[in-house]
Every structure is written in structure tokens, then in C-alpha cells.
Amino acid sequence: AQKVTQAQTEISVVEKEDVTLDCVYETRDTTYYLFWYKQPPSGELVFLIRRNSFDEQNEISGRYSWNFQKSTSSFNFTITASQVVDSAVYFCALSEAEGSGTYKYIFGTGTRLKVLA
């Protein structure tokens, strides 16, 4: 069965520190997709990234980077030089490609990141 674990419930850092949010997943499929989302205090959901299971190349987007490691079933998210605007709840999610081509999503419970000025 699918499962996504975000063991860090809440993290607090001081501005300009680097921070890594952990995500561990479980799946029996060989084809799957991993996601990260941001939910700022205003409540909207923002899609950050999707990673395909066959592409383990790490991704960097500005201060954000993602480390995908199949060997440890992890898809960790690092924010470099954190800023107060990074304060949010971050969700990791997994989707498996099902037989009919449809697929559903399983989310982790989220990590609340507080960046202090």
C-alpha cells in the first residue's frame, strides 16, 4: 500500500539558515510520482514540484532543491538561506500510475516550517 511519512511535525529555523524537510514513501509500484506542495499561512495550496520515479536526478530551483533517493525511498526538500516568507506547511505526496492509466494521490501529514527573523 502507498504511504507517505513526514516525520518532522514542526521545524523552526532562523532566517538564512538552510533547512531540509524529510519525506519517506512506500510503494510497490515501479512507476510512481512524488510531489511537494507549500501551504502558506494564508491557506492556499501551491504546487512546487513533481518527480518521476525513473528520474533520480536532483532538482534545483532557486533556493529550493530536492533530493530523490530510491535506495532509501526518500524525497527530501531543502531550502537554502531560508527567509521569513518560506514559513508555511509543506506537504509531500505520492501518486502511483494505476492499470487504467488513472492515478490517485497520497499525502503526508505535512511539516510546519517557521522561519524566524
Partner 1 sequence: EAQVTQNPRYLITVTGKKLTVTCSQNMNHEYMSWYRQDPGLGLRQIYYSMNVEVTDKGDVPEGYKVSRKEKRNFPLILESPSPNQTSLYFCASSLMVGFQETQYFGPGTRLLVL
Q: Say how far apart CA 24 and CA 34 lie, in whole Å.
A: 10
Q: Which is nearer to partner 1, 18 or 26 (CB)?
A: 26
CB of 78 to partner 1, least distance (A): 21
Q: Which is nearer to partner 1, 16 or 47 (CB)?
A: 47
The DSSP-derived string for 23-63 is -EEE-S-SSEEEEEEEE-TT---EEEEEEETT----EEETT
CB of 83 to partner 1, least distance (A): 22
- Residue that is written with C-alpha cell 515501479 in the block: 30
Binding site for partner 1 (CB under 8 A): 33, 35, 43-47, 50, 52, 55, 91, 93, 101-102, 104-110
Q: Which is nearer to partner 1, 2 or 80 (CB)?
A: 2
CB of 52 to partner 1, least distance (A): 5
Q: Which is nearer to partner 1, 7 or 46 (CB)?
A: 46
CB of 39 to partner 1, least distance (A): 8
Sequence-distant (6+) residues with CB within 8 A of 113 are 10, 11, 12, 13, 19, 21, 79, 82, 86, 87, 88, 89, 90
